[in-house]
């Protein structure tokens, strides 16, 4: 039970970290294109 909660915490936390890095380093149009490509 606790390990599943820990995994969810890490996965969701890494999503916000990736968004933060992308906003600071990637130009907006390129970022939108990359998200659309996924």
Domains of the chain by residue range: 2-37
Percent of the chain with pLDDT over 90: 42
Instruction: Give 12-30 pLDDT, tens digit per residue.
Output: 888 888 889 989 999 999 9
CA distances to 1, 2, 35, 38 from 18, in Å: 26, 24, 12, 14
Is the pLDDT confidence value at 8 over 90? yes
pTM of the model: 0.54
């Amino acid at each position: 039970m606790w390990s599943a909660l820990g995994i969810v915490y890490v996965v969701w936390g890494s999503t916000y970290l990736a968004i933060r890095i992308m906003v600071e380093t990637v130009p907006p149009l390129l970022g939108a294109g990359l998200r659309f490509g996924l």
